[in-house]
Amino acid sequence: MPVKPEGVYQDGRGKWYVKVTVGRDPLTGRRAQVTKRGFRTAAEAARARRELLDQVARRQLRPVQRATTVNDLLDLYLDGIDADGHLAAKTRFDYRVSADKYVRPYLGPRRLGDLTGELIVAWQRHLAEKGGTKAGKPLAPNTVRLARAPLAGALKLAADKGMVAFNPMTLAPRPKPARSVPRHWSPEQARHFLALMEGDRSWPIWAFLLGCGLRIGELVWLRWANVDWERRGVRVVEFASALGHQLVPSTGKSRDAVRTVDLDDGLVDVLRRRQHLQSFERAGADPDAGYVFTHPDGNAYHPQYLSKLLARRSQELGLPRLTAHGLRHTSATLMLANGVPPKVAAERLGHADPTLFTNLYSHVTPTMQREAARLIGLALFAGPPSDGPHGESG
């Protein structure tokens, strides 16, 4: 008869399970164990036990912290010793803001063991109906999804580390995102804005954003060294992320963020005019050094400054209020409405998935469909009538 492996047990249904001691409970001092069930054979259970013991040896599996609260877990997730290993700086900053505003006031004092799927669903419903501020303004589904993100990440960490036996977030479905048309200007409004802004120091910024569709974090760190005058293009290789007022480098918004954007005559002229203005403002400085779009002293812009400036200027000129991200949406719709293939437009804007890009800008599709119908009609019906399938009458 084969010897049963150590620490492996069989339940009444014939399934195998294991128990592993992970330390002492910090509250009671009693031995704390982790149990895993449902193995078909004793050998499978033994392999799982060895993996658990290895995690204990590497301190990846620890005693259940019965007194640990959601606030404690958020601190561990967002500022723990290994937080930098799984969260980018920009993500950590945004998660801290969401956690402080939406999670901690409602769920923070709760013990992890008391957190259930029903409680999380009720919390999401509260945000959707009453919001996360004293004013009680309801939150949109997309905002609730953002509020969930730090809690979801923290609870996944707790489950991975053995701090909870089950992740309750898996029982609380995310709100369905609301479909909406990205805010943008029509071609007429974009031309009207540029015409009215002609002569203003900020004009090259808006013209370049509309013509290239760059993200604002890409534009503010665009350097003259990455302008290829001979090939008429700009290499997008540096990305600024805003942590409040501080700007930090990031790897870009998608895997296709690093790219070269071709320039037409109009955009080349925009850069020439910008270069001339910069050389005048900073006499004696190297015109090929530093950033392309700057304050008069040569310092880079902050993305939020430019977005607020654009919103103010657009309202002053009687146009729909738009931020810098809205100019990117306007650039995308201009390309699609004028027949640029969605894959090419997505590449130009640095979108990783052309399908998602097309879905995002599906409001432009009717114009493209009408043009497709016109071209098919010309091919089928605009020529002289045929005498028959083989060129013969009858």
* CATH number of 70-171, picked from 1.10.150.130, 3.30.70.260, 2.60.40.10, 1.10.510.10: 1.10.150.130
Q: How confident is the model at residue 291 (pLDDT cuts 50, 70, 90)?
A: very high
Q: Is 46:78 a contact under the CB 8 Å cutoff? A: no
Residue 1: pLDDT over 60: no
- Most confident of the ranges 89-98, 251-260, 353-362, 376-385: 89-98
Query: What pLDDT does 237 receive?
Result: 92
Residue 72: pLDDT over 80: yes
Query: What pLDDT does 365 receive?
Result: 58
- Most confident of the ranges 7-11, 52-56, 153-157: 153-157
pLDDT digits (tens, 9 = 90+) for 355-374: 777 777 777 656 666 767 77
Reading the block at residue 200, the tokens are: 């203003």
pLDDT digits (tens, 9 = 90+) for 146-184: 999 999 999 998 888 888 888 999 999 988 876 667 788
Q: 187-373: which CATH architecture?
A: Orthogonal Bundle (1.10)
pLDDT digits (tens, 9 = 90+) for 36-53: 888 889 889 899 888 888
Residue 109: pLDDT over 60: yes
Q: How confident is the model at residue 58 (pLDDT cuts 50, 70, 90)?
A: confident
Query: What pLDDT does 203 receive?
Result: 94
Residue 30: pLDDT over 80: no
Residue 226: pLDDT over 90: yes
Query: What pLDDT does 176 receive?
Result: 83
Strand-pair partners of 111 = 69
> Average pLDDT of 290-300?
91
- Between 198 and 337, residue with greater pLDDT: 198
Rounded CA Rg of the chain? 29
* Cα–Cα distance, 163 to 97 (Å, whole number): 24
Residue 241: pLDDT over 60: yes
Q: Which residues belong to CATH 1.10.150.130 in the chain? A: 70-171
> Average pLDDT of 371-387?
70
Nearest to 103 by CA among 74, 83, 125, 128: 74
Give alpha helix (H) positions in the chain. Answer: 42-57, 70-79, 83-86, 89-98, 104-107, 117-130, 141-160, 187-197, 203-212, 216-219, 265-281, 303-316, 324-337, 342-349, 354-360, 365-381
* Cα–Cα distance, 236 to 216 (Å, whole number): 12
Q: How confident is the model at residue 60 (pLDDT cuts 50, 70, 90)?
A: low
- Between 10 and 197, residue with greater pLDDT: 197
Backbone angles phi, psi at 174, to 5 degrees: -70, 145
Query: What pLDDT does 211 receive?
Result: 93
> Average pLDDT of 207-234?
94
Q: Which residues belong to CATH 1.10.443.10 in the chain? A: 187-373
Query: What pLDDT does 151 receive?
Result: 96
> Average pLDDT of 110-120?
91
Strand-pair partners of 35 = 19
Burial class (CB in 10 A: 0-12, 13-18, 19+), 45: buried
**Percent of the chain whose predicted confidence (pLDDT) is above 90:** 40
Query: What pLDDT does 26 receive?
Result: 47
What are the CA-CA distances from residue 189 to residues 192, 208, 265 (Å)?
A: 5, 16, 21
Query: What pLDDT does 220 receive?
Result: 94
> Out of 71-75, 159-163, 282-286, 326-330, which region has the weakest mean confidence (pLDDT)?
282-286
- Between 51 and 58, residue with greater pLDDT: 51
Query: What pLDDT does 202 receive?
Result: 94
